[in-house]
């Protein structure tokens, strides 16, 4: 794997060198081939993911809708770490992906030691929730015509 450009990842902006060192030493990298499922809806929660390269599709299988396509430096899987024990969507690599994996223990520690981390994750959660509600409403009104 290549060196991870931590200062370029918006989620980690402004973190202390000690925190970045801890993330680097305690996280892991994962290469995921295109069209590979990263996790399935209702799977147990164990980690969040940051995309270092590639694209990931997030699908709510219960509703049958694509909730988002994520790119470099986007993150996913954090919502389940915040509020549930099971995944609320399925994540699949659309292209070959290089992911940074942050396990539940490190995630919890980052929430406690880096207030900006908690704020950024929370803001992302709120924005995705709003977007998902908007998309579900559009689907309800117009059916599949709203799909990309």
CA distances for 125 relative to 16, 28, 111, angstroms: 24, 23, 14
pLDDT at position 102 is: 95
Cα 124 to Cα 133: distance, rounded to the nearest angstrom:
14
pLDDT at position 35 is: 98
Cα 97 to Cα 52: distance, rounded to the nearest angstrom:
7
pLDDT at position 91 is: 97
Contact 58, 90 (CB under 8 A): yes
Cα 14 to Cα 91: distance, rounded to the nearest angstrom:
28
pLDDT at position 33 is: 98
Contact 19, 110 (CB under 8 A): yes
CA distances for 80 relative to 87, 125, 144, angstroms: 6, 10, 27
pLDDT at position 104 is: 92
pLDDT at position 2 is: 64
pLDDT at position 28 is: 95
pLDDT at position 148 is: 46
Give the percent of the chain with pLDDT over 90: 45
- What's the gap between Cα 81 and its chain centre? 10
pLDDT at position 82 is: 77
pLDDT at position 73 is: 95
Positions in the chain short of pLDDT 70: 1-2, 125-126, 128-140, 143-148
- Is residue 42 exposed (0-12), middle (13-18) or buried (19+ Cβ within 10 Å)? middle
pLDDT at position 3 is: 78
């Amino acid at each position: 794997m290549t060196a991870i450009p931590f200062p370029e990842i918006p989620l980690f902006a402004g973190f202390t060198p000690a925190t970045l060192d801890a993330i680097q030493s305690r996280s892991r990298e994962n290469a995921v081939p295109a069209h590979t499922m990263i996790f399935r809806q209702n799977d147990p929660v164990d980690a969040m993911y940051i995309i270092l390269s590639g694209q990931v599709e997030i699908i709510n299988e219960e509703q049958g809708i694509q909730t988002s396509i994520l790119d470099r430096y986007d993150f996913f899987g954090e919502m389940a770490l915040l509020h549930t024990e099971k995944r609320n969507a399925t994540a699949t690599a659309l292209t070959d992906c290089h992911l940074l994996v942050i396990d539940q223990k490190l995630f919890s520690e980052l929430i406690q030691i880096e207030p900006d981390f908690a704020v950024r994750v929370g803001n992302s959660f709120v924005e995705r929730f709003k977007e998902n509600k908007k998309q579900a409403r559009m689907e309800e009104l117009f059916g599949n015509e709203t799909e990309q």
